[in-house]
Structure 1
Amino acid sequence: MTIGDHLDALYRLPAYNFPGPDARTDDLPEPDAFAWRISGGVYDAEEEWTQAFARFCEAVDTTRVRALIVGAWEEAYDSDPSSVVEALVAARERFPALRALFVGDMVVEECEISWINQTDLTPLLVAYPDLEEFGVRGGSGLRFPALEHRALRRLTMEAGGLPAEVVRGVGASDLPALEHLDLWLGTPDYGGDSEAADLEPILSGARLPRLRHLALRNSEMQDAVAAAVASAPVVARLEVLDLSMGILTDEGAAALLAGQPLTHLKKLDLHHHYLSEALQDRIRRTIETEGVEVDLDRDDADEEQEDDGTVWRYVAVGE
């Protein structure tokens, strides 16, 4: 599976594309009614992202903007968004109402998720201490050194492979308001070199007292993640546990069921899995019958067997 659709909303606001350089900007909607997507272009862009952003700042009352979506920038497959970060940091005084920011909203026709180059995005969180939602797509070159942010409620990192350094940076950060954490761990083929041990600071919950929704998904090591989650202290306070999109087999699911009770959850999401029918039935009897919503949709989780008996399984989003 690839990313085929742009974000349709952010911060509970519908997404709106800021017009290109040849379009009218005298009939734009109210600044606080939409999440504004600003894009340049990956190939043969009419203007650079920073030029589009400058036009946006002139055309829109930025003091009322609540959500921004950073779309394509020029040659994203070869260039990181350092200039984007610098422009947003420099404009911080112009966006006092900004509460949500997503960097890298590109679909497969623009740039494969594994090709999107990123950089250190923490200067954005430092520049905008009132941000409540922050998201990023693409793990190549992504950095996230530990920081403190007291307002952030939702953190999303989508990648075909999330670097271990980033996972450890998130775990070492002080995020006392965080309620929703979504990490696409990915595969080593695309830079996802973390191990289950790297998740321990997150799973302890020590720095995440308000966490209610935890997604550790799209992982090649989903069995090891499930085993670690089985005894994780943070689980007792969760409402949603999401271990979907990865290579979850009977081994990992059995470890999860053998651990602490999960019947307090509102939802357990395991879609895109490699579980036997017997294990799925066991999950339904153990958890779903207790009123927990359980997603066991296999989606496109297919396996391939070579002539030598080797079985290949795939995460939902890789390249």
Structure 2
Amino acid sequence: MNRIGLFAAAALVVLALLSSMLFVVDQRQFGVVYALGQIKEVITQPGLNFKLPPPFQNVSYIDKRLLNLDGNDTTPVLTAERQPVVIDWYVRWRITDPTQYIRNVGLDEATGANRLSNVVRSAFNQEVNKRTVRELLSSERDEVMNDVKNQVLAQVKGAQPWGIDVVDVRVTRVDYSEAITESVYRRMEAERKRVANELRSTGAAESEKIRADADRQREVIIANAYRDAQKVKGEGDAQAAAIYADAFGRDPQFAHFYRSLEAYRATLNKRSDLLVVDPDGSEFFRAFRGGAGASGPRR
């Protein structure tokens, strides 16, 4: 039993030793083998590899993929006309030489990202200081990104290369700082209100003009209609007078009687009317007395 336990313990020790000597490099990583704190070997190809057991050799991994770095600094940058703007940007970069990267930057990708962010921010500050807001927004936007990329590459590939490559630099947003933005919004709002008030005033003037023209046309139409109506009415009255004259000329006694009836109708047209006269001595009621007195007017 003691011999079996000894064999089992020895087998476990051997397995532990083998596991510490074997390591796998992923296709997305570099494998860096250290020997007493010094870089012994950099493995770039994926697969199973061997090394000495710790503490003689250790292995670390560095990402070899294309990395993104987003600039989220809200500190305003002054343009050529001294306008504070905020630049949002991103950088795509990768580690190309793990040995140089570890010696000049460090083992952690975050450390390299922080240092690269400082370099990119400084390059953007220099390029933005040379240009106006209009140039940043339109004509020289691509030129700014190319100049920043060239400055960053010159920095990371200089006397002490970082072992990285900057693939692309892009500007995602150029905006005024918050204080300036509020001022611009207020100025835009005031301008829109001014235009709206001007349009309302113009519309009100046009509406008054249209209304006055419509009233004038209405008065003209009513006047013309009244003129035509009076003309027709005059012609009708003339024809009626001619007819009456012709009819009354044929029978003067009937004409006198008819006119008396019209006078009675005009005088006694309401039930509440009260007329106190002498029927026997009044010429007004002569037509009611009949006889010879009703045959015609007195002479």
TM over 0.5: no
* TM-score (norm. length: structure 1): 0.17
Structure with higher Rg: it is 2
* TM-score (norm. length: structure 2): 0.18
Higher helix share: 2
